[in-house]
Amino acid sequence: MSLKAFQYAESFALQMDGQDPLRGFRDCFFIPEQNGKPVVYLCGNSLGLQPKQVGEYIQKELDTWAHLGVEGHFQGENPWVYYRKRSKHTLASLLGACEEEVVAMNQLSTNLHLLMVSFYRPQPGRYKILTESGAFPSDQYIFESQTRFHGYDPHDAILEVAPRPGEHILETSDILDALDRHSSELALVVMSGVQYYTGQRFDMRHIAAAARQKGIPVGFDLAHAVGNVPLSLHDWGVDFATWCSYKYLNSGPGNVSGVFVHQRHAKSFDLPRFAGWWGYDELTRFEMKKGFKPMPGADGWLLSNDNVLGLAALQASLDLFLEAGLENLTKKSEQLTGYLEFLLHQVTNGKNILEVITPKDPASRGAQLSVFVHKGGKGLYDKISASGIVCDWRNPNVIRIAPAPLYNSYEDIYKFAVALDRALAASD
Ligand SMILES: *Cc1c(COP(=O)(O)O)cnc(C)c1O
């Protein structure tokens, strides 16, 4: 649907909801309430809502534990020794990967460190990391501490590509130019897939291709990309990636992350890595012998035995993704975010109060719009929040609004616009 066809009217939003083939999925989620009424939840970029079936999935493993105790590792419907394997099918399809390239484990920051142990191999003269400026703080601390760990000065070893003066988003050509200019000194290229602050989706395909062509390992932090935008990590030739599952993947606060390691490294057993027993060849693991023998593929990066209760919650959500289909979700996501963009323009009516800094091209963003508030600042955000809207505020003056196609409706977007309209009128 073209932008022109959208309307700022409740009847229009309800009509769109009536025609939405995914509308039933909203009922699969608990929607939080404020003053006895369901909120308009537009914060799936921070913490996705709870699928109603999460309790049942976890309860099943609690029952196995209650009835079988330690035998649950090998008995019951989903023996715990192999529990993580349940998630591989859907994770692989969300990431555009083969099953052996992905595994759910640990948390994001831990995983990024572990992957950098393998893929950040600095040498004299070639020790720098290329990344985006304003990366998520955890990533910045990881890059800093990794360069220091190898004996380099982070100020010298970390190269950040920044937006041009007066702009908020990065030009792909500037990223590729920097990669080209510094190629002889780069030991690693690592960026977000979707930038947490601006909502910009980077051109992962071209960045990966350019890095690969220069022989530089390339990785992505997909915290804001997984379950949000289509990914083809295998075909793009990305070396490694990691993500968290509590944002668009709705697995619950702080829940299990995952890693992708490209197939070409599946049997690179001499790649340095920090090892643990769960990464050991599973056929002979319980012989408990000395001498680490990694499993092929991403599983060779596992350390610990599976966090079954966390994985059960993740599975409940992945099963909904599988049922809905990523292609359908992407289609709806573009429409919903397009509708949000349209209504933001309608409400501000050409006045310079708000500025969407997220790219306009749907191929360069996902479900999130980041809005610079030129007038009213945090007060405006507080007014919107008081009227039952959940989105988030990032200093100095950005509101992030993220319609998640699994559970958000066109009516949600309409209600957000009405709340914003009233808040702006009250601030005049
Ligand atoms: C949310 C997020 C994280 C969070 O890291 P945890 O280890 O899960 O706490 C890291 N990086 C990015 C880009 C994020 O958006």
pLDDT single digits (tens) 335-363:
999 999 999 999 988 778 899 999 999 99
Confidence of residue 251 (pLDDT cuts 50, 70, 90): very high
249 lines ligand 1 (CB under 6 A): no
Provide mean pLDDT across the span 112-118. 98
The pLDDT score that the predictor gives to residue 238 is 98
Average of per-residue pLDDT across 198-205: 98
Give the pLDDT confidence score for residue 31 in this predicted structure.
Answer: 98
Q: Which amino acid residue places its CA nearest to atom 14 of ligand 1?
A: 223
107 in ligand 1 pocket by Cβ < 6 Å?
yes
- The number of the ligand 1 atom at minimal distance from the alpha carbon of 254 is 8
H, E, C per residue of the chain: CCHHHCCCCHHHHHHHHHCCCCHHHHHHECCCEECCEECEECECCCCCCCECCHHHHHHHHHHHHHHHHHHHHCCCCCCHHHHHHHHHHHHHHHHCCCHHHEEECCCHHHHHHHHHHHHCCCECCECEEEEECCCCHHHHHHHHHHHHHCCCCHHHHEEEECCCCCCCCCCHHHHHHHHHHCHHHEEEEEEECECCCCCEECCHHHHHHHHHHCCCCEEEECCCCCCCCCCCHHHHCCCEEEECCCCCCCCCCCCCCEEEECHHHCCCCCCCCCCCHHHECCCCHHHCCCCCCECCCHHHHCCCCCCHHHHHHHHHHHHHHHHHCHHHHHHHHHHHHHHHHHHHHHHHCCCCCEEECCCCCHHHECCCEEEEECCCHHHHHHHHHHCCEECEEECCCEEEEECCCCCCCHHHHHHHHHHHHHHHHHHC
Q: Is the pLDDT of residue 143 over 80?
A: yes
424 lines ligand 1 (CB under 6 A): no
What was the pLDDT predicted at 349?
Answer: 80
**Which pLDDT value is given to residue 376?**
72
Identify the pLDDT of residue 311.
Answer: 98
pLDDT value at 65 more than 80: yes
pLDDT band at 55 (very low <50, low <70, confident <90, very high): very high
Question: Does residue 412 surpass a pLDDT of 70?
Answer: yes
pLDDT at 396: 86
Strand partners, 186: 128
Give the Å distance between the CA of 13 and the centre of ligand 1. Answer: 33
Model pLDDT, residue 202:
98
Domains and CATH numbers, the chain: 3-50+326-427 (3.90.1150.10), 78-322 (3.40.640.10)
Q: What is the mean pLDDT of residues 107-135?
A: 97
pLDDT at 365: 98
| 380-384 average pLDDT score | 93
Atom of ligand 1 nearest to the CA of 108: 7
pLDDT band at 375 (very low <50, low <70, confident <90, very high): confident
Nearest CA to ligand 1 atom 8: 108
Ligand 1 site, residue 224, Cβ cutoff 6 A? yes
What confidence tier does 42 reach under pLDDT thresholds 50, 70, 90? very high
What is the pLDDT at residue 259? Answer: 98
* Nearest protein Cα to ligand 1, atom 1: 223
Question: Which of 244, 257, 307 to mutate to test ligand 1, by most ligand atoms within 8 A of the CB atom?
Answer: 244
- Ligand 1 pocket check for 220: Cβ under 6 Å: no
Q: What is the whole-number distance in angstroms between the Cα of residue 136 and the centre of ligand 1?
A: 7
Q: Determine the distance separating the centroid of ligand 1 and the alpha carbon of 262, expressed in angstroms.
A: 21
> Of 45, 115, 136, which is best to mutate to test ligand 1, by the most ligand atoms within 8 angstroms of its C-beta?
136
Does the Cβ of 138 fall within 6 Å of ligand 1? yes
Mean pLDDT score of the chain: 96
For residue 136, give the ligand 1 atom closest to its CA: 13
| Percent of the chain residues topping a pLDDT of 90 | 91
Q: What is the pLDDT of residues 218-238, one digit of tens each?
A: 999 999 999 999 999 999 999
Report the pLDDT value the prediction gives residue 109, as an integer from 0 to 100: 98
What average pLDDT does the segment 381-405 reach?
94
pLDDT at 1 over 70: no
Cα 47 to averaged position of ligand 1 atoms, centre (Å) = 11
